[in-house]
A = this chain, B = another copy of it.
Amino acid sequence: MAVSREGETESSHLAQTVEGTTLPTLAESQKNTCDQFSQTLQTPMASENERRRNWVLNVPEPPGLFSKLKTSFKKTIFSPLENKLHCIGKQPLPALFSILNTIFPPLSWCKQYNVTKFKSDILAGLTLASLCIPQSIGYATLAKLDPQYGLYTSVIPPLIYSMMGSSRDIAIGPVAVVSLLLSSMIQKFEDPAVNPAAYTKLVLTVTFFAGTFQAAFGLLRLGFLVDFLSHAAIVGFMAGAACVIGLQQLKSLLGLSKFTNNTDIISVLTSISKSMHTWNPFSFMIGSSFLIFILFTKYYLARKHKKLFLLSAMAPLLSVILSTLIVFLTRADKHGVKIVKHITGGLNPTSIHELQFNSPHTAEAAKIGLIVALIALTEAIAVGRSFATMKGYRLDGNKEMLAMGVMNITGSLTSCYVATGSFSRTAVNFSAGCETAVSNIVMAVTVLISLEFFTRLLYFTPIAILASIILSALPGLINLSEAKYIWKVDKMDFLTCTAAFFGVLFVSVEIGLLLAVGISFAKVILNSIQPGTEKLGRLPGSDLFGDVNQYPMAMKIPGALIVRVKSALLCFANANFIRAKILNLAQEEQNEDAIESAEDKVQLVILDMSNLLNIDTSSIAALEELHNELESNGMKLALANPRWHVIHKLRLAKFVKKIEGRVYLTIGEAIEACLTSKSMHASSLNMV
């Protein structure tokens, strides 16, 4: 390589003496090359083409790396601040209001708020609360916390979110997937059965970290991090998590006493078969009959008769009340039916002193916090955005992240665990006719009142009923029609989806996530490493060129091979691969043509650069090699329609000079200019 470069340096020295060192002079010298062409042609059409070629060759200098970094820094961080400060200086009051508006989005709608809207919100909020109370208790047991923590989490976070969040439909509180994620990851460090207090402290610490990460993502505008879980990965992950959660509930539903701490299907099924002899038929009967009742109201009654929607939303609460009454009246708890027993009532206690920043598990807590933060944000933003689109307003991802972050940090200080937007409850909130985030406030106040006054009533609530309430929410997480759609549209996406599903189901929640993210990124990289190439042909009756496979009616140009690379980057990782591929194509084409007629032999290879966004020095070296190899095979290389950065770099590397200025705005112009001097001229013009 050292040697090849020496040769090159010489030739570039030569080039410098010919064309001087500055760029405008280079452009002039290229005009001279153009002039040579135009002299051979001397038609108005040709001079028009020359004018266009000069557009391609004499582009303004694109912004460099440093100026790009500066602009992006200024745009995201400096300008908004400066703007606001500037406004405050000029018009202090409106500017202050605009800042407040940015921090508290509800200010934008609170002026138009009226009694009708408030009525709708109260109804939606009460409906939400009736579903939220039993679900919160259930999810708290799924997270292996005492039941009251679920209720706490349904009080403070919704209140904070309703001040800072911009979604009007989302229902905030504990959710199934996050609860599962917390318990499956944290119990590796603290066993909730052995030391529940230490476990709770660790959960609260994780919540604090999750909130901090979420707020930081929002402030640093890292909203794109949420997109690392692709749509297909989420579908697979959610379905897998739903299956795992369902398996976990079998313990409560069957009233088993011994159960594994692992979440994968094999451990769980082994554990169930081992302790099946301890099952409790009363538990199972109560749980399964109410599960059938809830599913019946949800999937049959509510769909048949829209008016019965409220009944389906209330069904969980009704089940809790009825089953509690049944157990209380029959004293089934004496026959082995497990009951909730004591729930600590009263307001959320402070938990500042529970946070542990000096424990041996702090680093692990931060890591778990990061994963939980991302999953919680993914769920909340996905659900928030789909309802916002439905109602026609917009969500700012970064602001949502900040709101979620502040709500979870505050939550961690007031005995709440990680809260986020729930798929199922948001749908109920929407169907119940909520207008604004006030429905979340109504719900929070209702839960607060229940905490204060009604916790004692839940003493006899059977654990099995909580399992059936969780189970009844799971079908909503498994989206078979979406999986079918993914299979139909994109097979690689389907692979990601199934990998996430089986990873969660057979190994663990983290492995499932890791697999999904890994496959998604491997796809992006693989796409860049071994891209395909496509031959182009002229579309009949036009000056357009298209892939001959995509457009079977496209016609070959005799004497020319037109190639396009299926990649946006020509870089170190693929340049040599592409070089070899184009050379092979050209040689094959030459051999085929030689059989047909010697006149039509390929003498021009046009590389359509229109979709190449950038190149690097490795790829320029590969292009130079391609040029040399084609020359020694009696072919010329021409470039068509290079983009801004590409033509700029090719000029800096003096590659344009090396291929004698054969760079054109369109493929048609390249054919016209390069095939005219040959006998091909007439036949190619006939094609036009």
| In the complex, chain A residues 45-82 whose Cβ is within 8 Å of any chain B Cβ | 48, 52, 55, 59-60, 62, 64-66
Check: A573 CB closer than 8 A to any chain B CB.
Answer: yes
A1 touches B576 (CB 8 A): no
Q: Chain A 314-348, CB within 8 Å of chain B: the 1/0 string?
A: 00000000000000000000000000000000000
A3 touches B430 (CB 8 A): yes
Known pairs A227-B572, A228-B572 / 18 extra A-B pairs, C-beta < 8 Å: A1-B382, A1-B423, A1-B479, A3-B426, A4-B386, A52-B539, A227-B576, A227-B618, A232-B572, A392-B632, A397-B580, A489-B617, A493-B616, A493-B618, A520-B571, A520-B573, A539-B665, A568-B613
B530 touches A5 (CB 8 A): no
With beta carbons under 8 angstroms apart, the residue of B397, B550, B573 that contacts A59 is B550
Q: Chain A 536-557, CB within 8 Å of chain B: the 1/0 string?
A: 0001011010110111110000
Check: A109 CB closer than 8 A to any chain B CB.
Answer: no
A493 touches B617 (CB 8 A): yes
Check: A229 CB closer than 8 A to any chain B CB.
Answer: yes
B481 touches A389 (CB 8 A): no
A617 touches B485 (CB 8 A): yes
B5 touches A482 (CB 8 A): yes
Check: A387 CB closer than 8 A to any chain B CB.
Answer: yes
Please judge, given known A-B contacts A485-B653, A644-B550, whether A3 and B521 are in contact too, CB under 8 Å.
no
B629 touches A541 (CB 8 A): no
Q: How far is the CA of A541 from the CA of B549 in the complex (A)?
A: 31
With beta carbons under 8 angstroms apart, the residue of B224, B424, B529, B649 that contacts A490 is B649
With beta carbons under 8 angstroms apart, the residue of B427, B488, B549 that contacts A2 is B427
Please judge, given known A-B contacts A62-B549, A227-B577, A574-B227, whether A611 and B614 are in contact too, CB under 8 Å.
no
Q: How far is the CA of A64 from the CA of B490 in the complex (A)?
A: 9
Sample 30 A-B pairs with CB under 8 A, ordered by A number.
A2-B476, A3-B386, A5-B481, A55-B551, A65-B492, A224-B529, A224-B573, A224-B574, A227-B573, A230-B571, A230-B616, A231-B617, A231-B621, A389-B628, A394-B583, A397-B576, A485-B653, A493-B616, A521-B525, A524-B528, A525-B525, A527-B569, A539-B665, A550-B643, A550-B644, A566-B568, A567-B568, A568-B569, A568-B611, A610-B610
Check: A625 CB closer than 8 A to any chain B CB.
Answer: yes
Q: How far is the CA of A64 from the CA of B487 in the complex (A)?
A: 12
- DSSP class of A's interface residues: helix, strand, loop or mixed? helix
Shortest beta-carbon distance from A673 to chain B in Å = 16
Check: A124 CB closer than 8 A to any chain B CB.
Answer: no
Q: How far is the CA of A498 from the CA of B611 in the complex (A)?
A: 30
B231 touches A394 (CB 8 A): no
Check: A666 CB closer than 8 A to any chain B CB.
Answer: yes
Q: How far is the CA of A231 from the CA of B223 in the complex (A)?
A: 34
Shortest beta-carbon distance from A114 to chain B in Å = 23
Check: A458 CB closer than 8 A to any chain B CB.
Answer: no
Nearest neighbor of A60 in chain B, beta-carbon distance: B552
Check: A486 CB closer than 8 A to any chain B CB.
Answer: yes
B644 touches A549 (CB 8 A): yes
Check: A477 CB closer than 8 A to any chain B CB.
Answer: yes
B3 touches A652 (CB 8 A): no
Q: How far is the CA of A572 from the CA of B665 in the complex (A)?
A: 33
B572 touches A233 (CB 8 A): yes
Which of A52, A573, A577 has the most C-beta atoms of chain B within 10 angstroms of its own C-beta?
Answer: A573
Please judge, given known A-B contacts A230-B616, A524-B571, A643-B550, whether A629 and B5 are in contact too, CB under 8 Å.
no
Check: A385 CB closer than 8 A to any chain B CB.
Answer: yes
Please judge, given known A-B contacts A629-B394, A643-B550, whether A573 and B618 are in contact too, CB under 8 Å.
no
Check: A390 CB closer than 8 A to any chain B CB.
Answer: yes
| In the complex, chain A residues 435-482 whose Cβ is within 8 Å of any chain B Cβ | 476-477, 479, 481-482
B576 touches A55 (CB 8 A): no
Contacts of A382 in B (CB 8 A): 1
Shortest beta-carbon distance from A359 to chain B in Å = 33
